[in-house]
């Protein structure tokens, strides 16, 4: 009987027992991750192992035992997390935690939401399978539907859309008809000087044909010039977007600093360590930083619209620009050789040389006793030669000036690199002081912001060099 009661009690306990909850799983980009210590639920919040997940997301992890601080770095992002703290630091800006980080079985666990706020990942929770779904920033970028736009594609669309190019193409057709018309009026090719009105008419018709032929060749050259001009305008518009994007980042970081300063000032004001005047000044600075950030975003939209207009695309379309000048090095140029090369290929110089040839032909085929003035024909040659010489001189001076300006840009790059090295050292020093509790996160953030701005200044110098090189090789484009 006793044995039977024991069996019944065991069955009752089994029937009333709740099944053990399944372990929490983590999947990054749909791939399940294996952990030495599994994620768990704490106070209705999911806590996940920091090291394994951050490593999978491409971050490097460092642990400082004395301060019990974890540091994660990836690209330009630095995350600092102290065990037991209610906040973490992302690039030295506070990020609140749903619950403090904790150590369990020798592993650091952090709240699930912190993953998304730290390295740009998207975090989701699948209840039925008890799985944390993490989508990395890299996969999000791959899945981003925003179309990428290369510089070559932008030029292709702009050339196809350009009214000036279409007009230049029509001008070639017109000049071909003019040449055919001039050719139909030639009965024979005159040689040397003539005499009388009839021979003057023949020579005039021959000169008209040669002029029409020159205009046709010039039109074919002009369409290349027009395409180069469109290309340069696209380069300016395309790279202006890159500059405006940098300005948005600069203004955004300045706003982050202003907000940190405001929080610190308001905290001091509560304990009477900041005057009302200083508090209002800091608040006003934050409002101004917010305004500047919004203005920079508006300027970026305008720059994007300008490029879209050149390409014949909807003004509101947003593209991810795929190309950015990265080199700051300028190739060695023999400026004397370069000047001679550019002058020999310049459409303007070619046209003026042809005009000299036509003026000389006017002397060679001069018709006497036809109401023409031989002295004027000779003066036409002299004037055409003078115009050609002056234009060559001006273009040579312009090219040498452009090259000198380019070398000055190169010198600026070297100076900016030194400034960048100084800024990097200042960040390292600030970080060291912060680790020892000597300065605040705000002071480190200011140094990091300054460093980021120095890097962007170098990027913008690369853009200026790229545009200067283009006009040095194709001066007619600008």
- Beta-bridged to residue 102, according to DSSP, are 109
Backbone dihedral angles phi then psi of residue 136, each to the nearest 5 degrees: -70, 160
What whole-number distance in Å separates Cα of residue 218 and Cα of residue 28? 62
Q: Helices in 184-319 by DSSP H: which ranges?
A: 197-270, 276-311
Q: How far is 385 from 379, CA to CA, in rounded Å?
A: 10
Measured CA to CA, the distance from residue 440 to residue 447 in angstroms comes to 11
Q: Is residue 108 classed exposed, middle or buried when 0-12, 13-18 and 19+ CB atoms within 10 A define those classes?
A: buried
Note the helical H segments in 148-196.
151-161, 163-183
Residue with tokens 């990020």: 95
Identify the structural domains of the chain with CATH numbers, from first to last. 21-143 (3.30.457.10), 149-324 (1.20.1600.10)
H or E, element range at 8: helix 2-16
What is the full per-residue pLDDT of the chain (478 aa) written as tens digits? 444 444 443 444 344 444 445 677 888 888 888 878 888 888 778 888 888 888 888 888 888 888 888 888 888 788 888 888 888 888 877 787 888 888 888 888 888 777 766 888 888 777 787 788 888 777 766 666 678 899 999 999 999 999 888 888 888 888 888 888 878 877 767 766 666 677 667 777 777 888 888 888 888 888 888 999 999 999 999 999 999 999 999 999 999 999 999 988 998 998 989 899 999 999 999 999 999 999 999 999 999 999 999 999 998 889 999 998 876 677 788 999 999 999 999 989 988 988 888 888 778 777 776 677 888 888 989 999 999 999 999 999 999 999 999 999 999 999 999 999 999 999 999 989 988 889 988 898 999 999 999 999 999 999 999 999 999 999 999 8
Host H or E run for residue 380:
helix 374-435
d(CA 20, CA 38): 15
């Amino acid at each position: 009987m006793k044995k039977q009661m024991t069996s019944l009690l065991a069955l009752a306990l089994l029937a009333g027992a709740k099944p053990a909850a399944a372990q929490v799983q983590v999947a990054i980009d749909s791939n399940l991750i294996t952990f030495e210590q599994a994620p768990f639920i704490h106070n209705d919040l999911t806590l996940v192992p920091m090291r394994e997940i951050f490593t999978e997301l491409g971050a490097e992890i460092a642990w400082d035992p004395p301060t019990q601080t974890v540091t994660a770095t990836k690209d330009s992002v630095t995350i600092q997390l102290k065990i037991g703290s209610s906040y973490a630091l992302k690039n030295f800006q506070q990020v609140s935690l749903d619950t403090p980080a904790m150590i369990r079985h020798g592993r650091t666990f952090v709240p699930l939401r912190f993953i998304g706020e730290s390295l740009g990942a998207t975090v989701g929770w699948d209840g039925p399978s008890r799985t944390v779904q993490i989508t990395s920033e890299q996969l999000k970028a791959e899945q981003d539907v925003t179309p990428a736009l290369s510089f070559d594609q932008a030029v292709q669309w702009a050339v196809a859309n350009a009214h000036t190019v279409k007009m230049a193409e029509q001008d070639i057709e017109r000049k071909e008809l003019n040449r055919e018309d001039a050719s139909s009026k030639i009965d024979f090719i005159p040689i040397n000087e003539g005499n009388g009105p009839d021979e003057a008419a023949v020579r005039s018709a021959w000169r008209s044909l040669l002029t029409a032929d020159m205009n046709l060749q010039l039109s074919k050259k002009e369409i290349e010039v027009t395409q180069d001009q469109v290309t340069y305008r696209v380069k300016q518009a395309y790279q202006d977007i890159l500059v405006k994007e940098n300005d948005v980042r600069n203004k955004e970081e300045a706003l982050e600093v202003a907000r940190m300063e405001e929080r610190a000032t308001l905290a001091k004001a509560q304990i009477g360590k900041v005057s009302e005047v200083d508090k209002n000044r800091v608040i006003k600075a934050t409002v101004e930083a917010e305004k500047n950030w919004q203005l920079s975003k508006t300027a970026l939209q305008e720059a994007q619209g300008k490029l879209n207009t050149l390409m014949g695309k909807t003004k509101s379309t947003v593209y991810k620009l795929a190309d950015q000048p990265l080199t700051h090095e300028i190739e060695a140029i023999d400026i004397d050789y370069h000047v001679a090369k550019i002058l020999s290929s310049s459409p303007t110089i070619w046209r003026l040389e042809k005009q000299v040839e036509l003026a000389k032909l006017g002397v060679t085929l001069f018709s006497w006793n036809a109401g023409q003035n031989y002295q004027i024909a000779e003066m036409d040659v002299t004037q055409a030669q003078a115009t050609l010489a002056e234009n060559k001189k001006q273009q040579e001076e312009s090219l040498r000036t452009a090259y000198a300006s380019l070398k000055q840009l190169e010198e600026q790059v070297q100076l900016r690199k030194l400034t960048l090295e100084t800024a990097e050292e200042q960040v390292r020093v600030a970080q060291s002081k912060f680790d020892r509790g000597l300065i605040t996160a705000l002071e480190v953030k200011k140094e990091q912001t300054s460093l980021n701005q120095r890097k962007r200044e170098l990027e913008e110098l690369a853009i200026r060099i790229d545009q200067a090189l283009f006009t040095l090789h194709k001066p007619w484009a600008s």
